Amino acid sequence: FNMAEEESLSVRVDRAQPEQDFGFSVHHLGSLFAINHIIGDSPAAHAGLLSGDVVSHINSQSLLGLTLPAVLEMLKEAGPTVEVNIKRTPSPQSPTRASQTTPASASRPHSAAKPPPPPKPTNMIRVTVDDFAELSITGHRHADMNQDNMMCELLQNPDGSQRAFVAGVFDGHGLLGERAAKAAADTLREICLDPKFDPNKFIANSHEEMQRLFARLQEAVLAQHERERIPESYEYPGSSSTMSFKLKSHPVFGHAYSAHPLMPPAPVDFGCTAVVAIVCSGMLCVGNAGDAGAILCVPGSHEAPARVLSERHNAKEQAEVDRIERDFGDKARITPDGYLAPLDPNICQYEVQTTRCLGHKLLRAAGITSDPAIAVAPLREARALVLCSDGVSDELQPRDIADRVIDAGSAEDAAQALCRDAQDFCMDQDQVDDCTVVVVRFSHARLVAGAARAEQSA
């Protein structure tokens, strides 16, 4: 930033109701915080905040040294009014300030300073979903059983215009893992089809809303562990044989599956990895727990044609190893080959690679959590978004994924290419995993002086 060109402003934002959002989201900008999105017709928009404004204080409290969750909590507890101190670089042609003006009512710390001139009319880009497809191809690690699941919904306004796009990919694991994935997909669909669902909240308060959504998904998956929902018998196919389990009472677990008198009982403890995307108002909010992937495809960007918006949560990632050792060192250990191993003698034989996912009523005590990693990104330059299970993201590099999607004739063609190429050319043919993807392609319209024309189609 060129400090000589910046001006300081103090902007008051009023919301009508305490539960109403202020209508803006912030993100880290080095050691600072900046506004990265303003919801139209929101209190923030009416007050004159702009995308790109650097926030120094909220209600006279400096943000220096604070974490993003702390700033979000400050806004949540702010009451009906919040005073935001910002630094702004006047730039009428800046695309982040495309159609916004600064109201004369915005208070200024230097009363003698002249108000900035109103920005000149510039172009805005409207991003819409042009095409989407979902596909899951069963591998043969578990014969004809596919433990993946997915969903996608294009939500519309009463006038037929697009309101939001919601998608999720869920990869089950363990006995009954497919039930976890199905429960998560069904619950996400139920949430987004609820008339009270407000996708704009995921842009204005991305961390809080995505955490709340994952909490609901977690609740739905844990409900599948209840005794009345567990089948009395269960067939678990492998690549060469099928194991038959019978549900029996257990002195420690309450109930457990038994396959053979000489084998230890298997506790009913299962889960699924998850990646969820909310597309709204030209922005994208992604949450993930586990190793399911989210890749944003940006054509024409030689440095980053594929932008990975998800994190990998397993016992080989140093950040997760550090978390387990710090918070659960007396409950679990990380094995040399990258597994999370509980120390409880009743479940110590049940090691897992993933460290974050939905479900696992028992292994939560060993450090498994459903807390998602969360990312927010603008879609102004994006051509497509891919959500995928690890069957795809483990086998294809992000750039390879982006190239296939950008080159494909349709979202369906792209989904087929991703799943087939991962299974046919990248996997050990004796251990072919399930592959699941959601591909959504975007189109862009440039709004000029109130009129729209098509700029580019995916």
- Tell me: the pLDDT tens digits for 395-418? 999 999 999 999 999 999 999 999
Residue in the block written with tokens 């002249």: 114
Task: State residue 320's pLDDT score.
Answer: 96
Can you tell me whether residue 98 is helix, strand or coil? coil
Would the pLDDT of 226 be above 80? yes
Do 294 and 308 form a contact (C-beta atoms < 8 A)? yes
Distance CA 23, CA 43 (A): 6
Share of the chain above pLDDT 90, in %: 57
**C-alpha separations of 411 from 17, 110, 146, 384, 418 in Å:** 41, 54, 22, 9, 11
Would the pLDDT of 186 be above 60? yes
Task: State residue 449's pLDDT score.
Answer: 43
Would the pLDDT of 19 be above 70? no
Mean pLDDT lowest for which of 303-307, 343-347, 375-379?
303-307
Do 305 and 388 form a contact (C-beta atoms < 8 A)? no
Would the pLDDT of 205 be above 50? yes
Which pTM was predicted? 0.74
Task: State residue 170's pLDDT score.
Answer: 98
Q: Which of 179-193, 342-356, 426-440 has the highest average model confidence (pLDDT)?
A: 179-193
Task: State residue 171's pLDDT score.
Answer: 97
- Please compute the mean of the pLDDT values over residues 93-120 and round it to a whole number: 38
Higher pLDDT, 185 or 40: 185
Pull the structure tokens for residue 9.
């402003």
Would the pLDDT of 108 be above 50? no
Task: State residue 34's pLDDT score.
Answer: 82
Going by pLDDT thresholds of 50, 70 and 90, the confidence category of residue 90 is low
Task: State residue 245's pLDDT score.
Answer: 92
Higher pLDDT, 16 or 245: 245
Would the pLDDT of 260 be above 90? no
Task: State residue 46's pLDDT score.
Answer: 87
Would the pLDDT of 16 be above 80? no
Task: State residue 404's pLDDT score.
Answer: 94
Mean pLDDT taken over the chain: 85
- Please compute the mean of the pLDDT values over residues 274-290 and round it to a whole number: 95
Going by pLDDT thresholds of 50, 70 and 90, the confidence category of residue 54 is confident
Would the pLDDT of 431 be above 90? no
Task: State residue 30's pLDDT score.
Answer: 60
Residue in the block written with tokens 């059983």: 145
Would the pLDDT of 114 be above 60? no
Higher pLDDT, 366 or 63: 366
Task: State residue 351's pLDDT score.
Answer: 92
Task: State residue 18's pLDDT score.
Answer: 66
Task: State residue 62's pLDDT score.
Answer: 87
Would the pLDDT of 390 be above 90? yes
* Cα-based angle 37, 42, 48 (whole degrees, multiple of 5): 70
